[in-house]
């Protein structure tokens, strides 16, 4: 048996270092307790008028208030969704619908957005919209002035993610929103990786719409929310009822929503301490993995999420790296083509200028609050061993070291 695994209860049966928190996080105990309690006690339909239904409605509205407070919004500006992807879809579709009415059919975004954004933009292109993707540069950071240059008279939306899900770079959101405001263009940000991890405040940040997902901050899967500034008319993606002020039909997932609110409150209350701890471990991981020859950090070294480390290692392929790390009890992810099920490696790595050859050899570690210094040393040691083992029978590495091919990194 490989040294790693979870039991059905979610507890580790033996030592596992879970370093894939950007994919999903383990639910917090408080969120789980809330969810179960709601299932047992407040399972009524919030739209029902009898006491049991209204009790569920109260739970729902309390969650809305807590979530609004956590991001500096007012409760009426929060719409519950099935997650970040739905929120992204709804935000972009809403701005596009407004734009179409005004004859504004141009959208500004970036090439390294999440596919929930990029694929929605692709669909809008088919419907006649034009999309400009601004450069994210080698360091994975958008330049606000370049957003300004991309905005046209007919631009109806700028959508730029708060923090990138693969390379963790945190965008200059306030500067970007200032540019948008000056030009009177709606600004949406996919903040799925940011909310609960770094300070997010829709007022101070100046964003008009924001998407978030519960399972990225120790809440349950299948729940998220869209913040839409008062006055922005939302377009429905799902028709069929008066829930969410008529903007999102379907009986609300009350247990999930209540658990999301609890998880977010908890994440925000502990944010400062968690971030300090994670940043320290992150920087140790970066320093340790840098010792591997012909390796490179992806994304800006400091302007990145406290828990994100992303490297490219020349001469190896990411999936085999992940499988061997899994054997050693380390859960991580990669942007290699083989892990995405397509022929192309991660669009994020390609967007920051990594060529295919090295993008296939990427490793993303997204660490969680429970990580220890000892775990970091364990990760560094194992990654070094596995990279060196795989390079040992890589024909590319042979050619590189024999001087038949030039190193890229």
Partner 1 sequence: MALYSEKVMDHFRNPRNVGVIEDANGIGEVGNAKCGDIMKMYLKIEDDVVQDVKFETFGCGSAIASSSMATEMIKGKPLSEVKQLTNKAVAEALDGLPDYKMHCSVLAEEAIHSALEDYQKRTGRKI
Name the residues that contact partner 1, by CB under 8 A: 315-320, 323-324, 327, 336-339, 341, 343, 345, 356-357, 360, 393-398
Q: What is the per-residue DSSP string for 317-351?
A: -HHHHHHHHHHTTEE-B---HHHHTSSS--HHHHH
Extract the tokens encoding 88. Answer: 């992204």
Backbone φ, ψ for residue 191 (5° rounding): -105, 25
Residue 186 C-beta: closest distance to partner 1, Å: 39
Q: In this structure, what token pair is assigned to residue 80?
A: 């519950």
Catalytic residue (one of 180, 268, 331, 338): 338
The continuous run of DSSP H or E covering 382 comes out as helix 373-391
**Nearest approach, Cβ of residue 359 and partner 1 (Å):** 9
Residue 345: CB minimum distance to partner 1, A: 7
* Residue placing its CB nearer to partner 1 in the complex, 1 or 51: 1
Question: Whole-number minimum distance, CB 220 to partner 1, in Å?
Answer: 24
User: Whose Cβ is closer to partner 1: residue 154's or residue 357's?
Assistant: 357
> Of the two residues 178 and 350, which places its CB atom closer to partner 1 in the complex?
350
CB 86 within 8 A of CB 242: no
Minimum distance, C-beta of residue 202 to partner 1, in the bound complex (Å): 40
Q: Please list, in sequence order, all residues whose beta carbon lies within 8 angstroms of the beta carbon of residue 352, skipping any fewer than 6 positions away.
A: 112, 136, 137, 138, 139, 140, 167, 298, 299
What would the DSSP string read from start to end of 217-257?
A: TTS-TT-EEEEE-TTPPPPPSS-SS-TGGGTS-S---HHHH
CB-nearer residue toward partner 1: 66 or 314: 314
CA atoms of 19 and 332, how far apart (whole Å): 5
CA angle 128, 129, 130 (to 5 degrees): 120
Cα–Cα distance for residue pair 292/182, rounded to 1 Å = 46
Q: From the CB of 12, what's the least distance to partner 1, in Å? A: 19
Contact in structure between 17 and 327 (CB atoms under 8 Å): no
Active site residue 338: yes
For the chain, how big is the Rg over CA atoms in Å? 22
Which ranges constitute the DSSP H helices of 72-114? 84-101
Distance CA 256, CA 98 (A): 31
Is 7 or 102 the residue whose CB approaches partner 1 more closely? 7
Token digits of residue 42: 């407040």
Q: Which is nearer to partner 1, 258 or 292 (CB)?
A: 292
Q: Which two tokens stand for residue 397?
A: 């590495």
Active-site annotation, residues:
338
């Amino acid at each position: 048996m490989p040294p790693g695994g979870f039991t059905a209860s979610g507890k580790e049966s033996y030592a596992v270092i879970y370093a894939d928190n950007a994919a999903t996080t383990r639910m917090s105990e408080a969120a789980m307790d809330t969810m179960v309690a709601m299932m047992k006690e407040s399972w009524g339909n919030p739209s029902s008028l009898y006491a049991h239904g209204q009790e569920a409605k109260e739970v729902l509205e309390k969650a809305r208030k807590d979530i609004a407070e956590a991001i500096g919004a007012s409760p009426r500006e929060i719409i519950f969704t099935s997650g970040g992807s739905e929120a992204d879809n709804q935000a972009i579709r809403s701005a596009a619908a407004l734009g179409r009415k005004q004859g504004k059919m141009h959208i500004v975004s970036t090439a390294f957005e999440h596919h929930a954004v990029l694929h929605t933009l692709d669909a809008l292109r088919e419907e006649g919209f034009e999309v400009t993707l601004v450069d994210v540069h080698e360091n994975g950071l958008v330049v606000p002035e370049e957003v300004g240059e991309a905005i046209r008279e007919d631009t109806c939306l700028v959508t730029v993610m708060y923090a990138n899900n693969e390379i963790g770079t945190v965008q200059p959101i306030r500067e970007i929103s200032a540019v948008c405001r000056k030009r009177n263009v709606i600004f949406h940000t996919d903040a799925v990786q940011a909310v609960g991890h770094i300070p997010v405040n829709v007022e101070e940040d100046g964003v008009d719409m924001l998407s978030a997902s519960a399972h990225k901050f120790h809440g349950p899967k299948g729940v998220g929310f869209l913040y839409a500034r008062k006055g922005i008319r939302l377009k429905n993606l799902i028709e069929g009822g008066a829930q969410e002020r008529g903007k999102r039909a379907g009986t609300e997932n009350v247990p999930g929503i209540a658990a999301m609110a609890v998880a977010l409150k908890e994440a925000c209350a502990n944010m400062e301490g968690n971030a300090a701890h994670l940043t320290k471990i992150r920087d140790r991981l970066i320093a340790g993995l840098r010792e591997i020859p012909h390796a490179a950090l992806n994304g800006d070294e400091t302007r990145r999420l406290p828990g994100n480390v992303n490297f490219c290692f020349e001469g190896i392929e990411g999936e085999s790296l992940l499988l061997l790390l899994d054997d050693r009890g380390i859960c991580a992810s990669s942007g290699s083509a083989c892990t995405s099920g397509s022929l192309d490696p991660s669009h994020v790595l390609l967007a920051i200028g990594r060529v295919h050859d090295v993008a296939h050899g990427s490793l993303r570690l997204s660490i969680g609050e429970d990580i220890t210094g000892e775990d970091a040393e364990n990760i560094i040691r194992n990654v070094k061993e596995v990279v060196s083992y795989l390079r040992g029978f890589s024909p590319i590495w042979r050619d590189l070291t024999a001087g038949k091919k030039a190193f890229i990194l």
